[in-house]
């Protein structure tokens, strides 16, 4: 963040903080900010003198109800449930049309809180709306139990308010506390990120993940699992070596690279001359003792002459040569493992969406498995992404796939690898999580906006993904506002990397309110 921009953002925050301290009611201190507050001059509702509650939720939002009642008990206030008239009523719009008195709830996540001296009513457009209303009411009573008369109408600016972070399995109290922070900020989708989805045959892992899903569902939150291509290192994109000299010392040859790929789809070939000659046979002429580190042993009774230099054609894998690595687009075993994990994830958890990661593409089209297909780089990348999507749709056509967008965004990492044409070959129902974190100068700001425009024009649904840089948050807030009329701009996805979680609250504020102190 350059010094000038930092000063500007700090100044905006100071002004915002002064405004919050001088608010006319406790409702104006709620975070994220309430959309509409109509204060009335008719007194106040005192929770301490109002000990009856009517539950018209039809069994919905019981986790929120319990949490609210526990907060009241801390103030020594206990409510008695009544089936008839009560001072406090919680319910759904379909059962409280008369009480709404014509108030329009614009989304299924909208809610109304009516505070009068004689009653308090919280009405949600749906269970999701009631959940949001109870979250707000709990925040209010943590400030005061004397509530000024008012009509509060609130609803989110963005329908998809997502948070991506990694979680430990099983869920402990620390994780629950952290999840409640996300819930209080009115996120409605939480990515339950972990590599454990590839261990779902383990009943303990199943149970540990199920805890997260059940807990989040109880608060009307959609859990999103993470399942990505991974597995054996020999399934990863390697580098095709040809005519690599093999020097035996005491009948043993070693190599300077990390791993020799030796699987059904890619097996090393040893031969006597550059470009060919006599092809040596495994277990007759040589043995592969180890693939990592690579060790080859000459068979004394075989055809490889003692102390001879022979040559090898093989795929090798060495992540030291490139920071990011992905499974080879042409390795069927990787897809078979992915399919097993997807099948179990869908059968066990019934998600609406699955995040497959797939960011930061590494080397492409560089080993024999891909090169023999005679495909261009962008064709291989599109093939791999589409195949993941097709596997998900095979087990449930209603489940959507989310991926990090940098791999296919021509204004980000895809542009660096000349993969501009990938999106032309992709299924348009793939959801893009478009991240660009360091929007500190005009060029980088353009990358956020141009990437968004690109995905909107291509017809992809998209999340914007800020991190913890406030200037970046500011750019994403403007971008979200500029695309608020598009059904394909879903909202923002909070991201947490390197333990840095400082963007959580600001992303939540933008998602809910649409406009915050950053752009006012």
pLDDT of residue 265: 96
pLDDT of residue 4: 43
For residue 497, pLDDT beyond 80: yes
Of the pLDDT bands very low, low, confident and very high (cuts 50, 70, 90), residue 1 is very low
Among candidate residues 260, 319, 264, 265, the one with its CA nearest the CA of residue 286: 260
**Is 162-232+325-513 CATH 3.20.20.80?**
yes
Of the pLDDT bands very low, low, confident and very high (cuts 50, 70, 90), residue 2 is very low
The pTM of the full predicted model, rounded to 2 decimals, is 0.93
Q: What angle do CA 396, 397, 399 make, to 5 degrees?
A: 70
What confidence tens digit (pLDDT) does each residue in 502-519 have?
Answer: 899 999 999 999 999 888
Q: What residue spans define the domains of the chain?
A: 23-154, 162-232+325-513, 238-321
Cα of first residue to Cα of last residue in the chain, in angstroms, is: 20
What confidence tens digit (pLDDT) does each residue in 288-319 have?
Answer: 999 999 999 999 999 999 988 999 999 999 98
Class of domain 23-154: alpha beta
486 vs 462: CA distance, rounded Å: 10
Fold match, 23-154 / 162-232+325-513: no
70 vs 40: CA distance, rounded Å: 29
520 vs 515: CA distance, rounded Å: 7
- Stretch 362-383: mean pLDDT: 95
Cβ–Cβ under 8 Å, residues 322 and 278: no
140 vs 193: CA distance, rounded Å: 32
- Stretch 127-154: mean pLDDT: 97
428 burial class (0-12, 13-18, 19+ CB within 10 angstroms)?
A: exposed
pLDDT of residue 472: 85
For residue 6, pLDDT beyond 70: no
Give me the residues paired with residue 400 across strands.
353
Contacts of 466 (CB under 8 A, 6+ apart): 437, 472, 473, 476, 492, 494, 495, 503, 506, 507, 510
Q: What is the DSSP letter of 120?
A: E
What confidence tens digit (pLDDT) does each residue in 202-243 have?
Answer: 999 999 999 999 999 999 999 999 999 998 999 999 999 999
């Amino acid at each position: 963040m350059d010094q000038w921009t930092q000063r500007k953002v700090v100044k905006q925050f100071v002004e915002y903080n002064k405004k919050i301290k001088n608010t006319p009611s406790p409702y104006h201190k709620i975070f994220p900010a309430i959309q509409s507050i109509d204060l009335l001059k008719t007194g106040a509702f005192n929770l301490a003198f109002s000990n009856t509650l009517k539950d018209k939720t039809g069994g919905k939002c019981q986790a929120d109800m319990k949490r609210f009642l526990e907060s009241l008990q801390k103030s020594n206030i206990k409510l008695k449930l009544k089936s008839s008239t009560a001072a406090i009523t919680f319910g759904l719009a379909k059962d409280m049309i008369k009480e709404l008195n014509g108030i329009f709830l614009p989304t299924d996540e909208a809610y109304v809180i009516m505070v009068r001296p004689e009653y308090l009513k919280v009405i949600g457009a749906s269970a999701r709306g009631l959940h949001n209303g109870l979250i707000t009411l709990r925040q209010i009573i943590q400030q005061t139990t004397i509530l000024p008369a008012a009509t509060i109408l609130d609803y989110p600016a963005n329908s998809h308010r997502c948070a991506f972070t990694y979680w430990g399995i099983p869920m402990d109290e620390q994780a629950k506390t952290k999840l409640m922070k996300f819930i209080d900020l009115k996120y409605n989708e939480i990515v339950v990120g972990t590599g454990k989805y590839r261990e779902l045959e383990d009943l303990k892992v199943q149970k540990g993940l199920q805890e997260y899903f059940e807990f989040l569902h109880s608060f009307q939150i959609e859990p999103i699992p993470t399942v990505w291509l991974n597995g054996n290192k020999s399934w990863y994109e390697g580098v095709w070596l040809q005519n690599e000299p093999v020097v035996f010392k005491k009948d043993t040859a070693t190599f300077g690279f990390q791993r020799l790929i030796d699987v059904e789809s890619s097996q090393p070939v040893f031969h006597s001359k550059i470009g060919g000659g006599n092809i040596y046979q495994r277990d007759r002429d040589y043995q592969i003792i180890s693939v990592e580190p690579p060790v080859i042993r000459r068979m004394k009774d075989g055809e490889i002459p003692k102390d001879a230099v022979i040559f090898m054609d093989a795929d090798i894998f060495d992540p030291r040569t490139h920071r990011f690595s992905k499974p080879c687009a042409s390795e069927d075993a990787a897809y078979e493992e992915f399919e097993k994990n997807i099948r179990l994830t869908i059968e066990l958890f019934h998600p609406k969406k699955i995040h497959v990661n797939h960011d930061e593409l590494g080397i492409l089209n560089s080993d024999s498995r891909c090169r023999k297909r005679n495909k261009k780089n962008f064709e291989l990348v599109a093939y791999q992404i589409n195949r993941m999507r097709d596997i998900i749709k095979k087990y449930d056509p209603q489940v959507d796939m989310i991926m990090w967008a940098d791999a296919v965004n021509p204004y980000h990492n895809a542009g660096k690898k000349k993969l501009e044409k990938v999106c032309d070959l992709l299924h348009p129902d793939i959801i893009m999580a478009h991240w660009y974190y360091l929007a500190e100068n005009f060029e980088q700001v353009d990358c956020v906006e141009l990437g968004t425009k690109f995905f909107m024009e291509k017809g992809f649904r998209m999340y914007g993904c800020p991190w913890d840089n406030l200037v970046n948050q500011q750019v994403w807030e403007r971008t979200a506002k500029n695309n608020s009329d598009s059904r394909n701009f879903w909202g923002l996805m909070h991201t947490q990397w390197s333990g840095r979680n400082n963007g959580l609250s600001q992303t939540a504020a933008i998602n809910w309110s649409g406009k915050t102190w950053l752009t006012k």
